[in-house]
Amino acid sequence: MCGIWCVVSLTTTHNPLDTHVHENLKHRGPSSSHDIIETISNCSLLFSAHVLHMRGSLTPQPLRDENGNMLLWNGEVFGGLSVDQGENDTKVVLHHLSMAQCTSDMLSLLSQLKGPWAFIYYQKVERCIWFGRDFFGRRSLLWKFDPEGTSFTLSSVASMPVDNIQSQWQEVPPSGVYRFDLTDSSALGNFVFLFALELFL
């Protein structure tokens, strides 16, 4: 299993990685670890991926295409997309995601995937982040909102609550995929999501 992490901050200064979460992520992906920071007009995006190499050639993540789209993938494709022997499924999934022209294309692609998966996909030209996990929730993906409403975090692992304070981490419901529109985020922390129920109908 790989470790994936994304922090969206409504400032141009990114939030530092939680040390405990970062260490837990590295344990899940000992083969390769990389962090990437992106800054757009009113947001800072921090992507961190830690790969456990199991199939095809070792492919470091976050994996970026020539258009700046970025995929963090924790899963295995058993069907729905053609993955040749020796080919890496992360590369195949990113290739197909990059060809999607609209929301229905994205949902059609994701609905075809057979196997356990969780993903975070930064679609640069649309300035949005897609994320979710398979219908059975076989790969972990958690989310957390900053109490002040200035940041939003996705992670495949969490840290233990401090001083018995209830954890702010919650599981991302596996009943669909989500689209976080960065262009509609305001300085007041107005996160806008599109819940794509069509994926599993």
Structural domain boundaries in the chain: 3-200
Cis peptide before 62 (omega within 30 of 0): yes
pLDDT of amino acid 21: 75
Check 2, 6, 43, 128 and give the catalytic one.
2
Look at residue 6 in the predicted model and tell me its pLDDT: 92
Q: What phi, psi does 23 have (nearest 5°)?
A: -65, -40
The C-alpha atoms of residue 132 and residue 154 are separated, in whole angstroms, by: 10
At residue 128, φ and ψ (nearest 5 deg) are: -145, 165
Kindly report the backbone phi and psi dihedral angles of residue 156, in degrees, each rounded to the nearest multiple of 5, phi listed first.
-85, -10
d(CA 126, CA 122): 9
CB 193, CB 178: distance < 8 Å: yes
Q: Strands 151-155 and 70-75: what pairing?
A: unpaired
Q: Is residue 2 flagged as an active site residue?
A: yes
What's the pLDDT at 194? Answer: 54
In the beta sheet, which residues pair with residue 200?
none
The model's pTM: 0.84
pLDDT, residue 188, reads: 37
pLDDT of residue 86: 72
Is 125 buried (19+), middle (13-18) or exposed (0-12) by CB count in 10 A?
exposed
153 pairs with which residues across the strands?
7, 144
Q: Where are the alpha helices (DSSP H) in 32-173?
A: 89-99, 103-112
**Residues in the chain, how many?**
201
Q: What's the CATH code, domain 3-200?
A: 3.60.20.10
Return the pLDDT at 193: 54
- The pLDDT score that the predictor gives to residue 119 is 95
Q: How many CB atoms sit inside 10 A of residue 32's CB? A: 15
Ranges of residues in the chain whose predicted pLDDT is under 50: 187-192, 197-201
SS3 state at 48: strand
pLDDT of residue 186: 54
